[in-house]
Structure 1
Amino acid sequence: MQLSNLIFLFFKELEHIQDILRDRMTCTKPVHRSIFTKYRTLVGLQNEDLNNIFVNYALMAAHYLALVLLKEAVIFLTCVKTGMPYEEANKKCCATERTVKKSSHE
């Protein structure tokens, strides 16, 4: 078997394992606006609501924190590149946010 075929098979298996882990480590019931369900995203929730969700689903908290850090990095780079103040860059970046839905591989 060629090396490229082995690498391809390895990554296909890795993707399959990641799908299994994602399905097993995420909640199976609808949580209000959860990023780990097929229903909605965490948009517009108050800190108290987020706290209640994250206390029960620690994996969601870690993933959400990574998304927040990425968002803040994009805003920071926008400020540096354009010279905009933080508030204006944040408003501009928030205006272009999109919801990403889980794609079905089945």
Structure 2
Amino acid sequence: MIDQQSVPALPGTPDEQDDTARKQRVKALFRRYPDITSEERRELTDYLKSGPLLEIGLLKGDETIRYKIAAFEQEQAKALSHAPKEIAVLLVIFVLLAVACSALWDMGA
């Protein structure tokens, strides 16, 4: 099996290179988990909370680290959960969108 870190990155835009480097770093941190520092734990938590969903899904599908990710998520469940304020904001947005759609539907009828 080829070590992903030894494969050179494909040429691309700086943003793509940064994303690739970040993904490789996160993958390396999960390989080392639980032997990581508190700063590295915070980095992983931030990535799982705000990273691209597709990239997170691909990481979770990687057989070499999927169980370490699951263990990390279980350990950091409180840090990874959504705050009640975030849930309330999303609920308000959903209700406003539903009311707007209903009003537009009635205007067309």
Higher relative contact order (CA 8 A, sep 6+): 2
TM norm. shorter chain > 0.5: no
State the TM-score, normalizing by the size of structure 2: 0.30
Indicate the structure (1 or 2) with the bigger Cα radius of gyration: 2
State the TM-score, normalizing by the size of structure 1: 0.30
